[in-house]
C-alpha cells in the first residue's frame, strides 16, 4: 500500500511540474512572478559545468544558476543579507537573498564572475577547514571515497561495506558512515581520511575538483573584495554543532570567525549552521561569540520564530526546472 501511495505521489508531482512548465511556455506564470509578495533566503552550495548530480544533490550547473540570476533580475527584488536583516523589502515584488554554503572553490571560479556581471549580492558561508590543513570537507571526501574507494574497509575495529548505491554501511549498526559520523568530532573523520588518502589517485581527485576543492585563503580574500560579496562563517570543521559537546561547538565558531576576519580584515557577524542543525545551547554560544545573524534551514523550536537574529532558509532543488524552482521559492515548499 505504501508503495502504491509513493507511486501515486510521484506521478502527481511529475504531472504538476509538467503542467507548471507548460504554463510557463505559454507565458501564464509571468503575472504571478512579477507581482508576488514575500521574502525568502535561498541556499546554494556548488556549481559545475555538467553532471551536477554526480555525487550528491547540492550542485547546480553553471548555466542553470545563471538562468536563476536572470530570472531574479527580471522578476524579484534582490538584496544583501545585511539588508534582509534590516527588512529593506519591496512591497511590490518578491524579495530574495542569495547564500552559498561550504566554501567551494567553484564559488570563486563560477559565482564571483556572474555575481559581478549581474550586480547581484551574495553571501558566502565558509568553514575554517583550510586553516586546519585540509583542502576538502569531510562530506565531500566521503563522496570521493565511496565512488573510488574499496568495496569494504575496517576502521577502529568496525567494518564497513559499500552497498548497491555506493554508500558505506556499518556492518555492526546497519547505518551509513555519513549518518554515523554526524555525531563525531573531526578527529575520527580525519583518521578515516588518512586511511583512504593513499587509495584515492590524484588523477581521480583532480578530474573531480569542481565537486570538492575548497577555496584558498587568497581566493577568499579576493572574493571578499567584491562589493557584491559578504563572507560568513559555516563552522570550523563543518561539524554538526548540535551533536558535539557545546564547548567544542562554541570554540569552533570562535575559531572560524577569527580565521575569516584575519583573511578579510572585516568583521564577520553571520553564521550558517552546518546541516542547518543547532540546539538552544548552540544559539547561546553563537550570540556569545559575536554573531548577530544566525542562519538555519528550518526552525527547530517554537521560540525561534520570535528571535530576530535567527532566520530560515530555503534550499534549491537541482532536479527541477527554473520555472518550478521559482514557484517553489515563492511558495516556500516543493510539490
* pLDDT at residue 8, as a whole number: 65
Confidence of residue 115 (pLDDT cuts 50, 70, 90): very high
Q: What percent of the chain has pLDDT over 70?
A: 96
| pLDDT top residue among 199 and 135 | 135
Residues 6+ apart with CB under 8 A from 279: 241, 242, 246
Q: For the chain, what is the mean pLDDT?
A: 93
pLDDT value at 29 more than 90: no
Own/partner contacts of 265-268, CB < 8 Å, gap of 24 or more, are 266/224, 266/231, 268/231, 268/232, 268/233
Q: Give per-residue pLDDT as tens, 201-211.
A: 777 788 889 99
Confidence of residue 4 (pLDDT cuts 50, 70, 90): low
Q: Give per-residue pLDDT as tens, 38-52.
A: 999 999 999 999 999
Confidence of residue 303 (pLDDT cuts 50, 70, 90): very high
> Whole-structure pTM over 0.85, yes or no?
yes
| pLDDT top residue among 34 and 297 | 297
Structural domains in the chain? 15-130+215-331 (3.20.20.370), 138-207 (no CATH)
* pLDDT at residue 224, as a whole number: 98
Amino acid at each position: 500500500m505504501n508503495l502504491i501511495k509513493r507511486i501515486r505521489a510521484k506521478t502527481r508531482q511529475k504531472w504538476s511540474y509538467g503542467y507548471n512548465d507548460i504554463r510557463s511556455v505559454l507565458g501564464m506564470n509571468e503575472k504571478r512572478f512579477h507581482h508576488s509578495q514575500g521574502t525568502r533566503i535561498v541556499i546554494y552550495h556548488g556549481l559545475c559545468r555538467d553532471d551536477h548530480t554526480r555525487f550528491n544533490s547540492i550542485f547546480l550547473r553553471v548555466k542553470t544558476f545563471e538562468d536563476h540570476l536572470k530570472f531574479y533580475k527580471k522578476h524579484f527584488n534582490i538584496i544583501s543579507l545585511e539588508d534582509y536583516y534590516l527588512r529593506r523589502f519591496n512591497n511590490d515584488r518578491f524579495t530574495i537573498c542569495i547564500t552559498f554554503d561550504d566554501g567551494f572553490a567553484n564559488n570563486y571560479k563560477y559565482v564571483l564572475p556572474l555575481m559581478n556581471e549581474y550586480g547581484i549580492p551574495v553571501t558566502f558561508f565558509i568553514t575554517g577547514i583550510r586553516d586546519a590543513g585540509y583542502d576538502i570537507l569531510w562530506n565531500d571526501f566521503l563522496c570521493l571515497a565511496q565512488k573510488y574507494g574499496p568495496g569494504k574497509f575496517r576502521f577502529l575495529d568496525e567494518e564497513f561495506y559499500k552497498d548497491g548505491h555506493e554508500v558505506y554501511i556499518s556492518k555492526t549498526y546497519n547505518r551509513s558512515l555519513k549518518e554515523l559520523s554526524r555525531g563525531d568530532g573531526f578527529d575520527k573523520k580525519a583518521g578515516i581520511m588518512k586511511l583512504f588518502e593513499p587509495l584515492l589517485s590524484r588523477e581521480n581527485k583532480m578530474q573531480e575538483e569542481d565537486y570538492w576543492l575548497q577555496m584558498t585563503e587568497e581566493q577568499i580574500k579576493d572574493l571578499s573584495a567584491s562589493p557584491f560579496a559578504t563572507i560568513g562563517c559555516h563552522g570550523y570543521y563543518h561539524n554538526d554543532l548540535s551533536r558535539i559537546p557545546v564547548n567544542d561547538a562554541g570554540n569552533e565558531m570562535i575559531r572560524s570567525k577569527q580565521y575569516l576576519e584575519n583573511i578579510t580584515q572585516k568583521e564577520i557577524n553571520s553564521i550558517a549552521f552546518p546541516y542547518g542543525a543547532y540546539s538552544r545551547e548552540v544559539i547561546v554560544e553563537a550570540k556569545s561569540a559575536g554573531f548577530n545573524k544566525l542562519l538555519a534551514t528550518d526552525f527547530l523550536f517554537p521560540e525561534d520564530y520570535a528571535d530576530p537574529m535567527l532566520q530560515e532558509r530555503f534550499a534549491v532543488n537541482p532536479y527541477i526546472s527554473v520555472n518550478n524552482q521559482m514557484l517553489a521559492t515563492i511558495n516556500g515548499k516543493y510539490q
